[in-house]
Amino acid sequence: MSVLVVGISHNTAPVALLERLAMTRDEVPKLVHDASTCAHVNEATVIATCNRLELYADVDRFHGSVEELSTLLVDRAGETTGAMLPHLYVHYDDGAVSHLFQVAAGLDSMAVGEGQILGQTREALRMGQELGTVGPALNVLFQQALRVGKRSRAETGIDRAAPSLVTAALERVGGDPTAPDDELDPTADLRSSVGGKRVVVVGAGAMAGLATATVARLGAEDIVVVNRSAERAQRLAGEHGARPALLADLEAELAHADLVVTCAGATGVLVTADMVASRPVQKPISFVDLALPHDVDPAVADLPGVTLVDLASLAEALHASEAGREVLEVRRIVTEEVGAFLAARRSASVTPTVVALRSMATSVVDAEMTRLDHRLPDLDPAVRTEVLHAVRRVADKLLHEPTVRVKELANETGAVSYAAALAELFALDPEAVTAVTRPEGLS
């Protein structure tokens, strides 16, 4: 199995580009089909969300398949290759396994730990199975990724990480703005910092949805969801009794806002110091910037009456918090699961060689017994049976150590293919081995 991931997400691309790549449920099958018909692709499926578009493929050639799959994303975005490539990422083989496990566990989500991605990963597997584009390699990988995601949520509180981030930020806004960055005020009254206030939420992704739900629950008087896409703004606003607005209206909405929570992560700041300084209504305003890269110009913190809380100011405190510890525990689980999966895969990769070796030994024993029958046709059946058992025991004992050692050595790092060496030393039938093992020398 040689798995390749070519993708783009909120970690590498601006929101405007992600929106051009966004796909409806009915559009995804065509992209899966297009990926599966690439010359060097054996299996394929797609994880498509509002914040990521990732092509997963089992390939027989690295460079050719990267070029083919990247072209599919470039064409869909309507960009030039040069403009698009800086926003794409590629994970191959062991790296692809690690990436998918992190995605399924929620570690790569904008709202860390959100559970929706697990269902989206399951949907990618289901669609590939129904279209016939997922075979043994991706099926095993995705099934294990789903188990990793479930285990992460069953054994830790990772699903509380993102809510903790929003809550911690609001606590900081409601507390003493001059307090050290590594001291969150656990007694801050969130309702007093949000209740009855005019709140603007910028963005419409998972983190924005969480922020909107939180301020609504805490009694915000007026909530405005601002987004580049009117449809997504309306959908999120409608879920929480808020008003939708377009990004072009952001400056006007800032005029009367008490609290602004930004979660867009666009390229370039959305809220500049000039926009805040020129507000017609000069009253205290707080900004919570939960985006990476940041949405709010850090210079706004120098303006009178302005409080700014961003990820940098929360990082140390959250790292030491319970939510931070849960994230670290999920990272440990993912690392453990990746190691176990790769070890099992390496052990399985030598199985065909071991089977071929034992088949060869059986053939040799059978040939020698046939010779014995010709030379001693009157041999007593009981004696013949005893001779057969003895020869088989000798063959088994001779093969035991090599087969055990080749499985052990398969899990050691290095460039040597012990399965290939074993096949060469014993002159095994190439068709019995290479037809069912991983191709050597992928270019």
Q: Per mean pLDDT, which range of 26-40, 187-201, 325-339 is the poorest?
A: 187-201
Bridge-based pairing of strands 89-92 and 3-9 is antiparallel
Q: Is the dihedral of CA 356, 362, 364, 366 positive or negative?
A: negative
Maximum alpha-carbon separation in the chain: 113
What is the pLDDT averaged over residues 240-263? 94
Q: Position of tokens 């929570």?
A: 261
pTM: 0.65
Q: Which residues contact 349 (CB under 8 A, 6 or more apart)?
A: 410, 419, 437, 438
Show contacts of 430-435: CB within 8 Å, 24+ apart: 432/352, 432/355, 432/356, 432/359, 433/352, 433/353, 433/356
Average pLDDT, the chain: 83
Q: pLDDT, tens digit, for every residue of 365-388?
A: 899 999 999 999 988 999 999 999
Residue 105 reports pLDDT greater than 80: yes
Share of the chain above pLDDT 90, in %: 47
- Report CA Rg, the chain: 29
Contacts of 311 (CB under 8 A, 6+ apart): 289, 290, 291, 292, 294
- The predicted-structure confidence for 335-350, as pLDDT tens digits, reads as follows 999 988 988 777 666 6
Catalytic residue among 6, 32, 47, 50: 50
| Sequence letter at residue 55 | L
CB 219 within 8 A of CB 191: yes
Q: Is 263 a catalytic residue?
A: no
What pLDDT is stored for residue 161 in this prediction? 75
Residues 6+ apart with CB under 8 A from 36: 43, 44, 57, 131, 133
pLDDT in tens, 273-298: 999 999 987 889 999 998 877 889 99
Residue 86 tokens read as: 């800086």
